[in-house]
Chains A and B, each alone.
Chain A
Amino acid sequence: MKKVLIIVLAVIALSTQAQVTTLKPGESAPEISLKNVDNKQVSFADYPAAKGFIVIFTCNTCPVSKAYEGRVEELNKKYASAGFPVIAVNANDPAMSSAESFAEMQERAKDNKISYPYLYDEGQKFTNQYGAKNTPHVFLISKSDKGNNIEYVGAIDNDTENTSSEKISYVEQAINSIQNNQKPAVTSTKAIGCVVKRKNQS
């Protein structure tokens, strides 16, 4: 009996450690307010004219995130003026890797001349609230009188390598739908990505 209890406890301990609940389409999006690479605080409230946000949990080091860097920049160039700016958040805990430090984030933002904010998530507060699992992990948000609503969760497109002629850009499709006052046809996708490095995980 004692043995069973120990096993049950061990299973519970394992499952709670691994469990991060990812917010789903249709749920409300927590208001993000974090320090940008320029040391200024950035929050949703700073964009009164925005119709929504392309929130992307990403990081400095993940090869998948790096493969998408150019496309994230393009998304911001294309959609910020249309009311959907990109807000990038570094999802990784810098304690797990010095390459994820604020100074390295600043370096990366400078090197890549990024046009969107790249925010430092102290204590992984918003990374955990949104339940970002892998990088890059997109949460497309629409803004309304009722608040901020999650419209789409998942990958930027279906072609990480960016070589397919049949690439489907999920984020662009979802924004186009919202702009036409429609619900996105695809509201969530999966993609191979780097695991978000959390403090309590090995």
Chain B
Amino acid sequence: MRGLLLYIILSSSITCFSQQVNLLTVDQLNQRIANGKDTAYIINFWATWCAPCVAELPHFQRLQQELRNEAARVLLVSVDFRSKLESTVKSFVRRRKLKNDVFLLNENNQQEYIDRIDSSWSGTIPATLFVYKDKRRFMEKSFTYPELLQQYQNLK
């Protein structure tokens, strides 16, 4: 019973904090994937200024909701300017009531980090990385919800 209570408190506090936007380096992202072991990660690279990215965000929200009982996490990694974290990104996340884990990429050098995320990436957004165990698929395109779900299912 106490365990359940603790769980409720913990999970509700996670819900409260989930609208935060934290900075994330590529190393931290890779570490998180490595720590996840059997968890599938769907990592969407987006920006508040990118119209096709914003248009597909609800699909990523829905995917996380649908997969809530599976070992799967949807991460939204914004490539907005770091100077826009407070003024733009956080208010965007609040306004849109984004429930996913949202991050702002904490990297300086595009020449370096784009290749480290995936060497096939031209830098165009939206782009999405699917990772499950040793499987890795990087796609530089927009998704409909069925397409997104299909990609996730293909991964597993």
Contacts and interface: CB of A to CB of B under 8 A. Distances in A.
| A pairs with B | yes
Interface of A: 18, 22, 61, 63-64, 133-134, 155, 158, 160-161, 163, 189-197, 201-202
Main secondary structure of the interface of B (DSSP, over half): loop
A161 B85 CA distance: 14
A193 B123 contact: yes
Enumerate the 3 nearest inter-chain pairs by beta-carbon distance, A residue then B residue, closest first.
Answer: A63-B49, A134-B124, A190-B123
Interface in B19-56: 47, 49-52
Contact of B110 (A18, A158, A194, A196): A158
A114 to B, nearest CB: 22
Contacts of A133: 122-124
A147 to B, nearest CB: 26
Interface string B110-136: 110011000001111110000000000
Interface residues of B, number: 25
Nearest to A196: B124
Contacts, number: 63
Contacts of B52: 195, 197
25 contacts: A61-B51, A63-B49, A64-B49, A133-B123, A155-B123, A158-B109, A158-B110, A161-B81, A163-B83, A190-B121, A191-B114, A191-B123, A192-B110, A192-B124, A192-B125, A193-B123, A194-B124, A194-B125, A195-B124, A195-B140, A195-B142, A197-B52, A201-B142, A202-B141, A202-B143
Contacts of A134: 122-124
